[in-house]
Amino acid sequence: MAERFGGKVALITGAGSGIGRACAERFYAEGAKVILVDINAQGLDDTVVQMPDSARVHSMVADISSPEVCHVAVATTVEVFGQLDVLCNIAGIFLSGRIEDITPEAWQRILQVNLTSVFFLCQAAVPELTKTRGNIINMASTAALTGQAYSSPYGVTKAGVAMLTKSLSMELAERSIRVNAVCPGAVNTPLAATASFPQDATPRLIDKLMSFYGFAEPSEVAALVAFIASEEARYMSGSVVPIDGAQTAG
């Protein structure tokens, strides 16, 4: 595998499982030093054990729903590795249910994890990415591109991520910081495995969440993230890119 990220430093949230772990493994395999952040300590340990060069890996157990913690994560990255080149905002949670069943607490929690954290991590990272002419990849979803029943809070947060990506790509262009988002469809992750919908949900609406190709693997999404983060994609900014097996094509 080519080492497109030799000498680069990547901060990856949600690195304890799923797409976040796959991104961590991909950036490490391509030569990057990686800062791995997740609220799940055991999941982080399981990720780190796959990376034998401990000098290129630092893990941080943290809840990035706090703006203060977002700033600490970036400061820790610079303290440990001296720079930041790529910010991957991968961490996220899923919430489903009919609208009348969504509690204020659940609404606030998904906003904080899926959207607020992305904003404040970007805010904290901008001064460091300005120095390295780095870039940001945000994890959105097909739920940012098309309505999906029984998961409106999730869709709202991911649509917010997509618009934040577009807005920041314009604002930060003068600093040569690229900002892009990836929109996966169904992916074989613990998040997808534990997703549930109302027992009386309309099957036709649930079927619309699937693609013609079934589930993607996290490594396939990570490959796209790595390409976008690399110099091969230097002309990409403001892109919101689906990887969904034609789920949103029609």
Number of helices followed by number of strands (H, E) in the chain: 9, 7
- 46 lies in a domain? yes
- 2 lies in a domain? no
- 32 lies in a domain? yes
- Strands (E) in the chain, as ranges, are 9-13, 33-38, 57-61, 86-89, 135-139, 178-184, 240-243
Distance CA 91, CA 101 (A): 24
Residue 64 is predicted with a pLDDT of 97
- 3 lies in a domain? no
Per the DSSP assignment, residues forming a β-bridge with 37 are 13, 60
Residue 186 is predicted with a pLDDT of 87
Distance CA 58, CA 237 (A): 28
- 4 lies in a domain? no
- 54 lies in a domain? yes
- 250 lies in a domain? no
The residues annotated with a catalytic role in the active site are: 154
The burial of 182, by beta-carbon neighbours within 10 Å (0-12 exposed, 13-18 middle, 19 or more buried), is given as buried
Residue 29, domain extent = 9-243
| Under 8 Å between Cβ of 115 and 157 | yes
Residue 206 is predicted with a pLDDT of 65
Please report, in tens digits, the pLDDT of each residue of the chain (250 residues total): 779 999 999 999 999 999 999 999 999 999 999 999 999 999 999 999 999 999 999 999 999 999 999 999 999 999 999 999 999 999 999 998 999 999 999 999 999 999 999 999 999 999 999 999 999 999 999 999 999 888 899 999 999 999 999 999 999 999 999 999 999 998 988 877 677 777 766 766 566 666 667 889 999 999 999 999 999 999 999 999 999 998 888 7
Distance CA 104, CA 33 (A): 39
In the numeric block, which tokens belong to residue 248?
Answer: 């949103």
Q: How many domains does the chain have?
A: 1
Per the DSSP assignment, residues forming a β-bridge with 136 are 87, 179
Comparing C-alpha atoms, which of 52, 55, 71 is closest to residue 122?
A: 71
Q: In this structure, what CATH number is given to the domain that contains residue 223?
A: 3.40.50.720
